[in-house]
């Protein structure tokens, strides 16, 4: 595990709490209940923990972060310190013996599996030794006899509790870390797409704004060409100026017609027909050997009317949303990678919904994990790697725009991904 997950100051504060609790318990038992114990020796063990804490606080800055092995050694010290205290106060018969499990549980939530297992073994060995070797439990005169079977029961309960709690805590923490890492990847992917969108939008806006002055230059050059006398040495230069200005205008016209752009409010470059949005998502992922088609499905162009009939509406015009572009692009890229020869991207709409359906003729999704698609680090295709984090990112981004994403397999083979939005969401000014 890399350095930086656990702050030293956090563990130091936890240890101070433990030191305060140990001191209070010792003083109450000795002076409140009047139980006899090796008071000087017990307090010396607590003082040793306090000295270590003072040394660490003075030696390292508060912002210091521990590596996996450093944090494991830190928690192992706490386990052994508490084990020594229990040795002096009755071993596992001491009611506070359950606290020896705390360092192992902390390790399960923050450290690697290797360090957690190692610290769990240290705890288990400590419990085993304390079951057989310890000073008598401080008690009233005459003592308190406990059978060996009952001591074995205490040991069993503590050992099984440690195993169960650490395994449970480790699984929950690992799942949380996986989700956090995957969401970080999603945010980075979206940030990259937004930067690209901003550059594209700036280029389109610049093309739009430069069109007028460039047209003026071309007009003046043509007037100069007409006014130059026959055979003038400047005629060639003026003709070159006209030719190059026309070329620049063609380039700017092409830029202004591209469906690029970011969030520019009412800018015309920020909105496009639904099929153009699908084409913009598919364009970067075309490759030789796989036909990638974007189709308007006639079967999906009719929507329900108020009287139960059907009415055909114009194609929706939607915002060029970076989340949709990147999410849909991820799914298209994976479909192209797994397809044998063809990928179809069908767009459709009704009065209430907008849909994009992606189909390929590849091996399809593995039925065993079809229901888990969209979770991070899940491999989804038979006999192939990939599509673990990519599908998670795509599904997360698309659902963030209000979409419902459904994964399935085609009857004749291949995979199908159906994406559906409420029409009002995509047709509003800002998505």
Average pLDDT over residues 209-237: 78
Q: Report pTM.
A: 0.50
E strands of 177-335, at which residues?
271-273, 291-296, 302-304, 310-312, 317-319
- Gap between the Cα atoms of 211 and 204, Å rounded: 11
* Average pLDDT of every residue of the chain: 79
pLDDT of residue 46: 94
Average pLDDT over residues 148-163: 90
pLDDT at 64 over 60: yes
**Secondary-structure breakdown of the chain: helix, strand, coil percentages, each rounded to the nearest 5:** 60, 15, 25
pLDDT of residue 45: 93
| Band of residue 204 on the pLDDT scale cut at 50, 70, 90 | low
The CB density around residue 28, as the number of other CB atoms within 10 Å, is 11
User: Could you report the per-residue pLDDT of 171-201, keeping only the tens digit for each?
Assistant: 888 777 777 766 676 666 666 666 655 555 5
pLDDT at 384 over 50: no
- Gap between the Cα atoms of 210 and 189, Å rounded: 32
Q: What is the dihedral of CA 162, 167, 170, 175, to 10 degrees?
A: -150
CATH of 270-304+312-427, one of 3.30.70.20, 3.30.565.10, 3.90.25.10, 3.40.1160.10: 3.30.565.10
Q: Retrieve residue 176's tokens.
A: 């949380």
pLDDT of residue 383: 46
Average pLDDT over residues 1-20: 79
Average pLDDT over residues 23-33: 89
Q: Minimum mean pLDDT among 14-18, 62-66, 314-318, 358-362: which range?
A: 62-66
- Gap between the Cα atoms of 210 and 253, Å rounded: 10
pLDDT of residue 149: 87
Bigger pLDDT: 193 vs 372: 372
Alpha-carbon separation of residue 141 from 76, 88, 145, 406, 423 (angstroms)? 35, 18, 12, 72, 82
Bigger pLDDT: 286 vs 54: 54
CB contact at 8 A, 10 and 57:
no
User: Could you report the per-residue pLDDT of 246-305, keeping only the tens digit for each?
Assistant: 877 777 666 555 444 444 444 455 678 888 888 888 888 888 888 888 888 755 543 333
Planar angle of CA 254, 257, 262, nearest 5 degrees: 120
pLDDT of residue 311: 41
Element (H, E) at 408: strand 404-409
Bigger pLDDT: 207 vs 277: 277
Looking from the CA of 392 toward its CB, the CA atoms found within 13 Å total 19
Over pLDDT 90: what percentage of the chain?
A: 21
What is the CA 128 to chain-centroid distance, rounded? 41
pLDDT of residue 376: 65
How does 124-137 read in b/e, with b if 16+ C-beta sit within 10 Å?
Answer: bebbeebbeebeeb
User: Could you report the per-residue pLDDT of 297-353, keeping only the tens digit for each?
Assistant: 755 543 333 333 334 567 888 888 878 888 888 889 888 888 888 999 999 988 888
Out of 131-145, 164-178, 361-375, the most confident range is: 164-178
- Gap between the Cα atoms of 290 and 362, Å rounded: 11
- Gap between the Cα atoms of 79 and 158, Å rounded: 14
pLDDT of residue 241: 82
Bigger pLDDT: 397 vs 128: 128
Select from 286, 317, 294 the least CA-distant residue to 427. Answer: 317
pLDDT of residue 430: 45
pLDDT of residue 196: 56
pLDDT of residue 420: 93
Site of tokens 């409140």? 32
Select from 224, 204, 214, 206 the least CA-distant residue to 245. Answer: 214
Which runs of consecutive H residues, i.e. helices, occur in 228-365? 235-257, 274-282, 322-338
Using only C-alpha atoms, the chain has a radius of gyration, in whole angstroms, of 35
Q: Retrieve residue 401's tokens.
A: 């725009």
- Gap between the Cα atoms of 350 and 8, Å rounded: 58
pLDDT at 79 over 90: yes
E strands of 146-243, at which residues?
none
CB contact at 8 A, 420 and 309:
no
Planar angle of CA 157, 160, 163, nearest 5 degrees: 145
pLDDT at 416 over 80: yes
Domain with CATH 3.30.565.10 in the chain: 270-304+312-427
Bigger pLDDT: 72 vs 218: 72
pLDDT at 104 over 70: yes
């Amino acid at each position: 595990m890399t350095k930086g997950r656990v702050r030293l100051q956090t563990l130091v504060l936890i240890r101070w709490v433990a030191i305060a609790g140990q001191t209070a318990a010792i003083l109450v038992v000795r002076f409140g209940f009047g139980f006899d114990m090796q008071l000087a020796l017990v307090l010396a063990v607590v003082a040793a923990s306090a000295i270590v804490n003072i040394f660490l606080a003075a030696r390292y800055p508060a912002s210091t972060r521990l590596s996996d092995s450093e944090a494991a050694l830190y928690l192992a010290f706490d386990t052994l310190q508490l084990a020594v205290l229990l040795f002096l106060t009755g071993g596992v018969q001491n009611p506070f013996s359950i606290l020896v499990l705390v360092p192992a549980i902390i390790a399960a939530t923050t450290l690697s599996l290797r360090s957690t297992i190692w610290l769990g073994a240290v705890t288990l060995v400590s419990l085993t030794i304390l079951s057989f070797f310890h000073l008598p439990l401080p008690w009233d005169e005459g003592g308190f006899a406990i059978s060996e079977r009952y001591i074995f029961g205490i040991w069993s309960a503590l050992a099984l509790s440690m195993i169960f709690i650490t395994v449970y805590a480790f699984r929950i923490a690992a799942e949380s870390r996986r989700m956090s890492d995957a969401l970080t990847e999603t945010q980075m992917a979206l940030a990259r797409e937004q930067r690209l969108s901003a550059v594209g939008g700036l280029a389109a806006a610049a093309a739009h704004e430069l069109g007028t002055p460039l047209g003026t230059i071309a007009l003046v050059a043509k007037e100069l060409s007409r006014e130059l006398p026959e055979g003038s040495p400047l005629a060639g230069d003026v003709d070159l100026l006209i030719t190059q200005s026309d070329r620049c205008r063609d380039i700017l016209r092409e830029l202004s017609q591209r469906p690029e752009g970011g969030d520019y409010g009412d800018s015309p470059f920020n909105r496009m027909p639904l099929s153009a949005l699908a084409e913009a998502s598919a364009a970067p992922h075309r490759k030789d050997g796989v036909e990638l088609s974007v189709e308007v499905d006639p079967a999906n162009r009719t929507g329900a009317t108020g009287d139960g009939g059907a009415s055909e509406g114009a194609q929706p015009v939607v915002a060029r949303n970076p989340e949709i572009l990147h999410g849909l692009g991820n799914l298209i890229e994976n479909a192209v990678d797994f397809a044998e020869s063809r990928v179809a991207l069908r767009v459709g709409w009704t009065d209430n919904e907008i849909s994009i359906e992606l189909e390929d003729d590849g091996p399809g999704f593995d039925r065993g994990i079809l229901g888990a698609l969209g979770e991070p680090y899940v491999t989804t295709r038979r006999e192939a790697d990939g599509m673990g984090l990519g599908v998670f990112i795509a599904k997360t981004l698309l659902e963030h725009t209000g979409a419902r994403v459904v994964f399935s397999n085609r009857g004749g083979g291949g995979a199908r991904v159906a994406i559906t939005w409420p029409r009002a969401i995509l047709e509003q000014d800002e998505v």
